[in-house]
Chain A
Amino acid sequence: MKRRTFVSCGLFSGSLAMALCSGLVYPALTLANAWPRNLFQTKSAKDVIHGLFDNETAIASDAVKVSAPVQSDGMAVPIKVQAKFDGIDTIAIITENKNSPLASVAYFSGPVSGYSIRIRVANTSTVTAFVKANGKLYSAATRVKITKGGYGMTW
């Protein structure tokens, strides 16, 4: 057994983890990508995009759809990303005007065409979704208007 697998197995507890570690080695659980701490702590949206996708420039595309309610409570804004591509690798959701712009990033290894999550948005701002499919980077944005809640309380 590889050392890393063994070490990360030690972090899990319970019989489920033991079962996973002993026989069938589940790559995603034991060798999961380490949580990208620096990306979540980066304060500028540009740096986050750079960190996630290097120097690729995103193509604004109609095939990517980001939907959010017109007006919403800033404590929970449901964001839904749908993309009409085959072979989606990554979907990242990035909010402007925030201390930590990166809300969530998902990596796919199966036939997936959408990703949705509820995020916190401080005040009215643009939410951009970046979709990487077949080696190309696409993006789409939507404006989220915060009418109550949020932690900036400005609108």
Chain B
Amino acid sequence: MTIQTKMKIRRSGNQAEILVLVNHPMESGNRVDKKNNNRIPAHYIESISFKINGSDIADASLGPGVASNPMTGIVLNKVKPGDLVSVHWSDNKGMHGMAEHTIT
């Protein structure tokens, strides 16, 4: 199973909104499979970290209460065109993914 990570950056002036979309089920562990009455095991993203030009800017912890295919965003100040933004996420089953984008 591959999980897609998409990133989009909207810049206006020296402020940029970074949006990250991960195609992730975000299974909370509370849902029951109606066919066999078993609980669907929890599978959710635990952390998303943002970096700009290799240095940390944000580290977000997510819980099972986040919607599936989570769209996470931060608003960054003091950016300039050419800055490289990278995002890395990891979930409770040890899967991880990343995306990179240059601010234009």
Contacts and interface: CB of A to CB of B under 8 A. Distances in A.
B67 A28 contact: no
Contacts of A76: 67-69
Contacts of A78: 71
Contacts of A108: 57-59, 74
Contacts of A36: 61
Contacts of A155: none
Contacts of B19: 116
A121 to B, nearest CB: 8
A9 to B, nearest CB: 13
Interface residues of B, number: 39
Nearest to A28: B56
A113 B47 contact: no
B73 A117 contact: yes
B7 interface: no
Counting chain B CB atoms within 10 Å of each CB, the highest count among A12, A40, A78, A99 belongs to: A40
A67 interface: no
A126 B98 CA distance: 33
Q: Interface extent on A, as a size class? A: 35 or more
Given A32-B59, A107-B58, A108-B58, A119 B66 contact: yes
B44 to A, nearest CB: 10
Given A117-B70, A120-B66, A112 B57 contact: yes
Contacts of B94: 11
Interface of A: 11-12, 16, 27-29, 32-33, 35-36, 40, 75-78, 80, 82, 95, 98-100, 102-120
30 contacts: A16-B98, A28-B49, A28-B51, A32-B49, A32-B59, A35-B46, A36-B61, A40-B61, A75-B67, A78-B71, A102-B63, A103-B63, A105-B61, A106-B59, A106-B60, A108-B74, A110-B55, A110-B57, A111-B77, A113-B76, A114-B75, A115-B73, A116-B19, A116-B71, A117-B62, A117-B66, A117-B72, A118-B67, A120-B65, A120-B67
